[in-house]
């Protein structure tokens, strides 16, 4: 199958009474996944409100091709067998409440940070867990409207029990597989996030720029500082492998605007507390000093403060 075929047409299926798959979250990554999946399986997109859903049904550009989503407002979500949650970490509890009404078999988070426990606490589906993805996408406003640009093919790892979701992703041309040791994989993803996301957001550069001076030294310092904390939690990488993993992701997503950078540029709240904050909590519990990460956390919070607490930010 042509991996870009799902971008070339609107969904080819009549809207079912119950979808085999739905995505909660209509940001850049949610729309990227939905557009790829739509050519292979009926997929619903749950947006924040009726206006956003109507906009997505009218059509947006994803990967250079028009995409008209089977989109629904969060107040009236459809029934679905499997759900992928791709909202910001701060919206996890709200997404769980939406998921409850959709009566799913399983709910899979592919969010940044460690959100699985929060999702499980608010959702009573039979199967609730968190996977990881290194797929990248960012959203732009153009004269013609909204455009979502994929920015580097990645891989999606799913917990055991989500074989059906993995099969749908593969059928859509995405790299996906079930990972038996998903807990360690989540720690490896957190390592990547705490190194790349805040640094890219503060300096307002794409991921690939972090591999070059003057940012490379700071990137490596963040990896070296986080590594012993995450090793204590079960990270299965030695320090050289940890550095290589972060470098490889930055290179593979060189053109990508990290999610935290996208939030900063758009004047939105970031996921700094779910990403760097998670590491800080681990470090405190384990007695580790992580001054570089504390500085990143403080700087991103300062950017948020300037955006939201200034007279301009208050609107």
Q: Which two tokens stand for residue 77?
A: 């979500």
Longest dimension (CA), the chain: 56
Strand partners, 120: none
* Torsion angles phi and psi, residue 294, rounded to 5: -65, -40
Q: Are 17 and 152 in contact (CB under 8 A)?
A: no
Token pair belonging to 165: 């979701």
C-alpha 260/C-alpha 263 separation (Å) is: 5
CA–CA gap between residue 231 and residue 294 (Å, rounded): 19
Neighbours of 49 (CB within 10 A): 11
User: Which uninterrupted H or E stretch holds 301?
Assistant: helix 291-309
Q: Which of 31, 21, 87 is CA-nearest to residue 59? A: 31
Q: 135 — alpha (psi -120 to 50), left (phi > 0) or beta? A: beta
Sequence-distant (≥ 6) Cβ neighbours of residue 312 within 8 angstroms: none
Lookup result for tokens 């593969």: 170
The encoded tokens of residue 249 equal: 């992701």
Contact (CB, 8 A) for 67 and 91: no
Phi, psi of 44 (to 5 degrees): -100, 150
Catalytic residue chosen out of the listed positions 186, 189, 247, 293: 189
The bridge status of strand 65-67 relative to strand 60-62 is antiparallel
189 catalytic residue (yes or no): yes
- The catalytic site residues sit at 189
């Amino acid at each position: 199958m042509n991996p870009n075929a799902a971008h070339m047409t609107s969904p080819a299926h009549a809207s079912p009474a119950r979808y085999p798959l739905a995505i909660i979250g209509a940001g850049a990554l949610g729309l990227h996944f939905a557009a790829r999946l739509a050519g292979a399986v009926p997929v619903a997109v749950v947006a924040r409100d009726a206006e956003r859903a109507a906009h997505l049904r009218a059509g947006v550009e994803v990967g250079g091709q028009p995409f008209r989503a089977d989109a629904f407002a969060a107040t009236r979500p459809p029934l679905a067998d499997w759900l992928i949650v791709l909202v910001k970490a701060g919206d996890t509890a709200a997404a769980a409440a939406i998921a409850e009404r959709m009566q799913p078999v399983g709910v899979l988070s592919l969010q940044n940070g460690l959100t699985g426990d929060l999702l499980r606490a608010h959702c009573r589906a039979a199967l609730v867990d968190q996977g990881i993805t290194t797929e990248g996408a960012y959203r732009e406003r153009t004269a013609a409207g909204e455009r979502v640009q994929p920015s580097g093919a990645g891989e999606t790892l799913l917990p055991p029990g989500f074989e059906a979701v993995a099969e749908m992703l593969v059928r859509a041309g995405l790299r996906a597989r079930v990972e038996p040791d998903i807990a360690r994989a989540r720690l490896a993803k957190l390592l990547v996030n705490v190194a790349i996301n805040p640094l890219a957001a503060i300096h307002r550069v794409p991921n690939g720029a972090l591999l070059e001076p003057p940012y490379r030294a700071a990137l490596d310092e963040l990896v070296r500082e986080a590594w012993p904390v995450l090793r204590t939690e079960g990270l299965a990488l030695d320090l050289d492998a940890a550095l290589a993993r972060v470098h490889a992701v930055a290179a593979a997503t060189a053109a990508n605007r990290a999610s935290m950078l996208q939030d900063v540029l758009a004047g939105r709240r970031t996921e700094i507390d779910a990403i760097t904050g998670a590491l800080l909590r681990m470090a405190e519990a384990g007695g580790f000093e992580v001054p570089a990460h504390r500085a990143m956390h403080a700087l991103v919070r300062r950017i948020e403060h300037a955006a939201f607490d200034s007279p301009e930010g208050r609107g």
